[in-house]
Amino acid sequence: MDNFNFYSPTEFVFGRDRENEAGEYVKKYGGSKALVLYGGGSAVRSGLLDRVKASLAKSGIGTAELGGVQPNPRDTLVYKGIELCRAEGVDFILAVGGGSVIDTAKAIAAGVCYDGDFWDFYCGKRVERALPLGVVLTIAAAGSEGSGDSVITKEEGMLKRGTGADVLRSRFSILDPALTQTLPAYQTACGATDIMAHVFERYFTNTREVEITDRLCEAVLITMVKETPRVIADPNNYEARANIMWAGMVAHNGIVGVGRSQDWNSHGIEHELSALYDCAHGAGLAVIMPSWMEYVYKHDVMRFCRMATRVFGCQMNYEDPEATALEGISRFRSFLHSIGMPINFAELGAREEDIPKLVEKFGIGDGKTGGFVSLSAEDITAIYRIAVNAKI
Amino acid sequence: MDNFNFYSPTEFVFGRDRENEAGEYVKKYGGSKALVLYGGGSAVRSGLLDRVKASLAKSGIGTAELGGVQPNPRDTLVYKGIELCRAEGVDFILAVGGGSVIDTAKAIAAGVCYDGDFWDFYCGKRVERALPLGVVLTIAAAGSEGSGDSVITKEEGMLKRGTGADVLRSRFSILDPALTQTLPAYQTACGATDIMAHVFERYFTNTREVEITDRLCEAVLITMVKETPRVIADPNNYEARANIMWAGMVAHNGIVGVGRSQDWNSHGIEHELSALYDCAHGAGLAVIMPSWMEYVYKHDVMRFCRMATRVFGCQMNYEDPEATALEGISRFRSFLHSIGMPINFAELGAREEDIPKLVEKFGIGDGKTGGFVSLSAEDITAIYRIAVNAKI
């Protein structure tokens, strides 16, 4: 096991109706005037925003409000939020939404405390200070409610880049599974795919003898394989929603990936798809991740056999382990298809002729990247090509 | 899933030689003068204490020192520590040791900030304030490095009682698996048993459809079943030690037990044994936990079948599920025996004739206790009786 630090100081507030406690928690963590940040109209239409604002008012918290966060959230709204916070004297950011809203909240929180351009943080500059922030989560997916990470897209040139820092971790995150019951099946499945991808990026490692984190990874994956079809079949299944929502946090707050090398190439390869086509990150991952697996599995056949048998219930083929590895990948892709995810370029709305552009924007030049298998621009091209024609 | 809060703000600092960073972390978390608290002479003899003190000196942290914490730690040393902290103007407690040292550190941390008798906190009074504390862990067992809990024994009458509060959570915990390589096999096995018991207390639940935490529990248990025999066979196996050390934290910081009812009767029933005979808590659990399982398994045969098949590798007997449940319990007891743990009263040094005294000290009178199966004094007597004659 490699040396590591693990620090996850967020207070998680989980369960039915907990969003009505938002005001108490903003107060507990020192806020007196909060920017309430949200996305499209669903938080308004459902009455969630009104309930959250009522809770803030009850605790004597002043508010400013900013809506309109888009999927693949843009730098333009971040600038607007920073300006608003400064003008209104905001001392706390409350994100009401999913990963895009939370990531935007983190960017604003850092930007308010910085004299320069917040985009510097997404080009390698370290975030030293940020306003405190809280979360009311509305979709189980990004895990941003329990991580210090943020991904923002620069509208000019559609550059998608990330940053991360402990000061960007939410002080509290309210997770009410009932809020996810109104999500369309497609978004639910995109979220589930993202959760599984967060685990797989950590699961595929070159670090030996890390049984505890291997098993924790498998615990989350097995749960997702069991629970996701249940919410697709019955969106109102609170218990299945609850299991997925907590799995989403566990998948990405770091606990299942400490002490081991991680990969993260599938995320990078996908980011270019969602940046170019503005598709959902989870949908892009459904296309890329099994294709990446097919390209790299020979690097460690036994690890893919482990995934195949433990996560997807394959029987181990002791005469032909590669067959088991491939069957596991195939079952993963079939699983994604069964929950309504795209599995190739056409289903995603991507174009084969854009591959050179995607690879160029990925921007590794003559370099290589990735913690499990180190990939060149040529390798990445090959993976996009597998994804073009993928079938179940 | 039940509503819950989960809050684990401790910074975990894991890996080889990390104890040499103790000074930096005390400083980071606001300490200027630390009480260095430890147990017997092993921390002195091994040179660990000197290295920790050198690290503190390097960071300009002043120190006071208190050794002599015993297993089943006593109130008498807590009073001594509180007095010393006040006399020396200590503002930070650094526990160098295992569960007993950490639990004592927590008691001192709370006691220093309280005008009354610290024992009040172990009789139900809520801990509101405490000095900040840090940990350098030397045994994987109690999980106290990641929890807000503390158990202290009142020497007068040997009353063993616990308390818990978020302010008692360590600010940082340094976990260097190499420090555990010098532990005798018996203590290593006691620690492993305690870790497994912490999971089982949470695993046996009446809450339905909590797949994510069920799977996380199993992840820790499977890891312990795999890794424990490896360290018993080879005490210097760093990788196995590392897996166990992290498993011990995960087992008890709360993450595997949120959102579900828990039991905790085995811990209560054991506490009377270690209080009366001053035996190791883990050894007492090895005697009690399988006996408790045999007494309660009919309450939920399928849950015991799940344990038997997933944790202990039994084949499910679909014609006779009870046989599978019993085989799982039997394999657990055999496992404990195989790692050198006592499995009955005689092996522990306990006496059948003391059972009435043990039950009386347990102190439930005509009441009942336990979150999985509610037990009366009569039930607890029966469990002690099973433990008297347990065999593999």
pLDDT above 70 covers what percent of chain A? 100
Name the nearest CA neighbour of A265 among A120, A364, A193.
A364
| Residue keyed to tokens 């181990």 | A316
Buried b (16+ CB within 10 A) or exposed e, A125-142: eebeebbbbbbbbbbbbb
Which residues are CB-contacts of A83 (< 8 A; sequence separation ≥ 6)?
Answer: none
B315 CB within 8 Å of a chain A CB: no
- Across the interface, which of B13, B243, B255 has its CB nearest the CB of A255? B255
Q: Are residues B249 and B349 in the same domain?
A: yes
In angstroms, the separation between the Cα of residue A197 and the nearest Cα of chain B is 17
pLDDT tens-digit map of B342-352? 999 999 999 99
Q: Are residues A145 and A212 in the same domain?
A: no
Q: Tell me the mean pLDDT in the region A247-262.
A: 97
* Residues A212, B250 contacting (CB under 8 angstroms): yes
Residue A87, domain CATH: 3.40.50.1970
Nearest CA in chain A to B18: A3
pLDDT tens-digit map of A355-386? 999 999 998 999 999 999 999 999 999 999 99
Place A231 in a pLDDT band, splitting at 50, 70 and 90.
very high
Q: Which residue type occupies B257?
A: G
Distance CA B112, CA B99 (A): 20
CA dihedral over B303, B308, B309, B312, signed as positive or negative: positive
- Report the 3 state secondary structure along A204-273: CCCCCCCHHHHHHHHHHHHHHHHHHHHHHHCCCCHHHHHHHHHHHHHHHCCCCCCCCCCCCHHHHHHHHH
Q: Does A220 contact B210 at a Cβ distance shorter than 8 Å? A: no
* Residues B294, B333 contacting (CB under 8 angstroms): no
pLDDT above 90 (res B253) = yes
In angstroms, the separation between the Cα of residue A224 and the nearest Cα of chain B is 9
In this structure, is residue B160 part of a structural domain? Answer: yes
Place A270 in a pLDDT band, splitting at 50, 70 and 90.
very high
Distance CA A168, CA B70 (A): 41
Average pLDDT, chain B: 97
Which two three-digit tokens encode residue A41? 């109209």
* Residues B139, B187 contacting (CB under 8 angstroms): yes
In this structure, is residue A3 part of a structural domain? Answer: no
Q: Are residues A141 and A250 in the same domain?
A: no
Q: What is the ipTM of this complex?
A: 0.96
Q: Which of B111, B144, B179 is the last residue of a domain?
A: B179
Interface subset of A 172-191, CB within 8 angstroms of B: 177
In this structure, is residue A2 part of a structural domain? Answer: no
Q: Are residues B201 and B169 in the same domain?
A: no
pLDDT tens-digit map of B372-388? 999 999 999 999 999 99
Which two three-digit tokens encode residue A280? 């959902």
B322 CB within 8 Å of a chain A CB: no
Place A160 in a pLDDT band, splitting at 50, 70 and 90.
confident
pLDDT at position B160, please?
A: 86
**Within chain A, what is the greatest distance between any pair of CA atoms?**
69
Nearest CA in chain B to A208: B239
Place B40 in a pLDDT band, splitting at 50, 70 and 90.
confident
Distance CA A208, CA A102 (A): 34
Residue A373, domain CATH: 1.20.1090.10
Q: Does A242 contact B18 at a Cβ distance shorter than 8 Å? A: no
In this structure, is residue B345 part of a structural domain? Answer: yes
B16 CB within 8 Å of a chain A CB: yes
Report how far apart the first and last C-alpha atoms of chain A are (Å, whole number): 36
Give Cα B66 distance to the centre of its chain.
22
Q: Are residues A29 and A163 in the same domain?
A: yes
Q: Are residues B211 and B141 in the same domain?
A: no
pLDDT above 70 covers what percent of chain B? 100
Which residues are CB-contacts of B156 (< 8 A; sequence separation ≥ 6)?
Answer: none
In this structure, is residue A4 part of a structural domain? Answer: no
Name the nearest CA neighbour of B172 among B6, B7, B9, B35.
B9
B11 CB within 8 Å of a chain A CB: yes
Which of A2, A6, A224 is the best substitution to test chain B (most B C-beta atoms within 10 A)? A6
- DSSP SS3 for A295: helix
Name the nearest CA neighbour of A172 among A5, A6, A28.
A28
Distance CA A334, CA B323 (A): 37
* Residues B266, B201 contacting (CB under 8 angstroms): yes
In this structure, is residue A283 part of a structural domain? Answer: yes
Q: Which of B112, B147, B179 is the last residue of a domain?
A: B179
In this structure, is residue A221 part of a structural domain? Answer: yes
**Structural domains in chain A (count):** 2
Q: Tell me the mean pLDDT in the region B27-37.
A: 98
Cα Rg, chain A, nearest whole Å = 20
Give Cα A275 distance to the centre of its chain.
15
- Across the interface, which of A11, A210, A250 has its CB nearest the CB of B212? A250
Q: Are residues B52 and B175 in the same domain?
A: yes
In this structure, is residue B2 part of a structural domain? Answer: no
B240 CB within 8 Å of a chain A CB: yes
Q: Are residues A241 and A140 in the same domain?
A: no
Q: Does B211 contact A218 at a Cβ distance shorter than 8 Å? A: no
pLDDT above 90 (res A173) = yes
Name the nearest CA neighbour of A339 among A331, A349, A329.
A331
Q: Are residues B29 and B175 in the same domain?
A: yes
A219 neighbourhood in chain B, CB within 8 Å: 212, 215-216, 218-219
pLDDT tens-digit map of B149-206? 999 999 998 888 999 999 999 999 999 999 999 999 999 999 999 999 999 999 999 9
How many of the other CB atoms lie within 10 Å of CB of B31?
25
A215 CB within 8 Å of a chain B CB: yes
- DSSP SS3 for B258: coil
Q: Are residues A307 and A376 in the same domain?
A: yes
Place A41 in a pLDDT band, splitting at 50, 70 and 90.
confident
pLDDT tens-digit map of A312-347? 999 999 999 999 999 999 999 999 999 999 999 999
Question: Where would I find the H helices in chain A?
Answer: 22-28, 42-45, 48-58, 75-88, 99-112, 185-203, 211-233, 238-252, 265-277, 281-296, 301-310, 321-338, 345-348, 355-362, 377-389
Q: Are residues A150 and A249 in the same domain?
A: no
pLDDT tens-digit map of B262-303? 999 999 999 999 999 999 999 999 999 999 999 999 999 999
A304 CB within 8 Å of a chain B CB: no
Distance CA B189, CA B347 (A): 15
Output DSSP code: residue A369: B
The model's pTM? 0.97
Q: Are residues A24 and A77 in the same domain?
A: yes
Domain around B370: 185-389
Distance CA B318, CA B327 (A): 13
A246 neighbourhood in chain B, CB within 8 Å: 1, 212-213, 258-259
Q: Which of B179, B208, B239 is the last residue of a domain?
A: B179
Nearest CA in chain B to A219: B215
pLDDT above 90 (res A40) = no
